[in-house]
Amino acid sequence: MRFACLCITSAAAQLMTLVRSPEQVVFDMAMSFHLPSALRLVIESHVPEILRAKTDGAGAHVDEISKINGVNAQKLGHVLRLLATHYVFDEVEPNVFANNRLSESIDTGVPLDEVLPRPLEKYDSKNGGFAALVAVTTHESMRNGLFMTDALMDSTLTNSFLPEDSPFSLAMWPGSTCFGWMNTTPENRWRLTRFGNAMEGVSRLTPPDAIMKGFRWSDLPPDSIVIDVGGGIGSASLPIVMHTPVKLMIQDRGIVLEDATKYWQEHCPKALDSGRVSFVDHDFFKPQPSITGDGYPTVFLLRMIMHNWADEHAKIILKHIRGAAKDTTKLVIVDGLLETACRTGGGSSPTTNKLQGDKKGVKPSHPLLSNWGAANGMAYKFDIQMLCNHNAGERTLDEFDKLLAETGWRIVEVYQSHQSWMPQIVAVPNGS
């Protein structure tokens, strides 16, 4: 099904660019920023929750919505019509809108009478993670993106890969980094919590058990220790605990782990109470802490961490993990993998024979782009989002191979699946 989806989406998107004039296509792209702007408004003004609470599916007039969220009805109607034109919400009658399958994805499910007095807490709900992800992307990340040209055309910044020289720094706080800004500024505590919820929301982009579709977690012995490095609230590693008997240690900064404890109390309290899940306040730019007792790290997990850091910073993280690894330790990196959009000139990659999974050797037929084009666009948008947020980005498989080799690791397997746009790279210590 996923393969068919890739083919259809890639072909449809490419066909749309061919049947319209170049000017229409490019100008439509230029105005596309209005869509995330509109999404942010409806999320922060609780339109999906209002429609769920006030209608039985028949829809609500913008005047009624406006009375609840305080947004001018005429302006709100135009915003909702833009989204309905792009299939988010249905306009069932003039100025009467209803939820549909797309708008329901950003409905946190929290009762409206709880949302209105405590709006930021709605992202803490079981279904709030994806709404938080879209909110973060359309708020901080979108603003950072507006400053990409300024940063890349500044002769003092363009050749720097330091996070404090990112477009974020120009957009939000000169000389600061995105994570530092959220972690150390008290007035941004709510942003940090929303970001943690957003990382849980990333799981909605793939099947719930996507982390299990690759590295064979179920083969690990019961006394294995999995360390989720920079794991945030630990939402990515939750399926590992639920499907295997391993012990999990989540490493992140203390302020983040406060939210992690709440998350596990809600989603898997037995693992928390039994001690199978633990939390360690750790800065991954410092050496890995020693583990007391008989155990030692069996697997280190880096999920959506490497793309936050350019090579020089990424090497520090990887070297510290290598210093704590035994010969039998595995490293699992979950990140996007970039491929070129051309069919020629790439040659045979030294890592090609390490590919596993149902995408191995599968390429789209001509005239579709060799990387699936717009159907695989999320990985390339994430790449630029990481550039704007952190002065970093996604990597190709060969770039990962080089980075890992320089830090004492060797890639042994790469799992690519049509069910997930984030492959799993498995590495072992060099010489093992």
Please give the class, per CATH, of domain 222-345+392-429.
alpha beta
Instruction: Work out the pLDDT band at 347, boundaries 50, 70, 90.
Output: very low
pLDDT at 191: 95
Rounded Cα gap, residues 174 and 158, in angstroms? 15
169: three-class secondary structure by DSSP: helix
User: Is 234 in contact with 277 (CB distance < 8 Å)?
Assistant: yes
173-198 pLDDT, tens digit each = 999 999 999 988 889 999 999 999 99
User: Is 50 in contact with 114 (CB distance < 8 Å)?
Assistant: no
pLDDT at 119: 96
Among residues 140, 185, 221, the alpha carbon closest in space to that of 388 is found at 140
302: three-class secondary structure by DSSP: strand
Q: Please enumerate in sequence order all residues whose Cβ is within 8 A of that of 321, keeping only pairs 6 or more positions apart, or say none.
A: 229, 288, 300, 302, 331
pLDDT at 75: 98
268-295 pLDDT, tens digit each = 999 999 999 999 999 999 999 987 555 6
Does residue 70 surpass a pLDDT of 70? yes
Residue 64 CB burial class (10 angstroms; 0-12, 13-18, ≥19): middle
Structure tokens at 101: 């399958």
Instruction: Work out the pLDDT band at 204, boundaries 50, 70, 90.
Output: confident
Does residue 98 surpass a pLDDT of 70? yes
pLDDT at 358: 52
Which residue is associated with the tokens 């943690």?
196
Neighbours of 169 (CB within 10 A): 22
Helix 189-201 / helix 254-267 crossing angle, nearest 10 deg: 50
Sheet harboring 96-98: ordered strands across? 60-61, 96-98, 90-93
Does residue 419 surpass a pLDDT of 70? no
pLDDT at 217: 94
Rounded Cα gap, residues 38 and 389, in angstroms? 21
17-35 pLDDT, tens digit each = 999 999 999 999 999 999 9
Domain borders along the chain are 33-117, 121-203, 222-345+392-429
Residues identified as active-site = 307
Q: What is the CATH number of domain 33-117?
A: 1.10.10.10
Alpha-carbon torsion 273, 224, 240, 197, what sign? Answer: positive
Q: Average the pLDDT over each of 122-131, 284-293, 320-329, 364-373 and give the range with the smallest value.
A: 284-293
212-265 pLDDT, tens digit each = 988 999 999 988 999 999 999 999 999 999 999 999 999 999 888 988 999 999
**Cross-strand partners of 355:** 414
Among residues 304, 308, 336, 284, the alpha carbon closest in space to that of 163 is found at 308
pLDDT at 4: 84
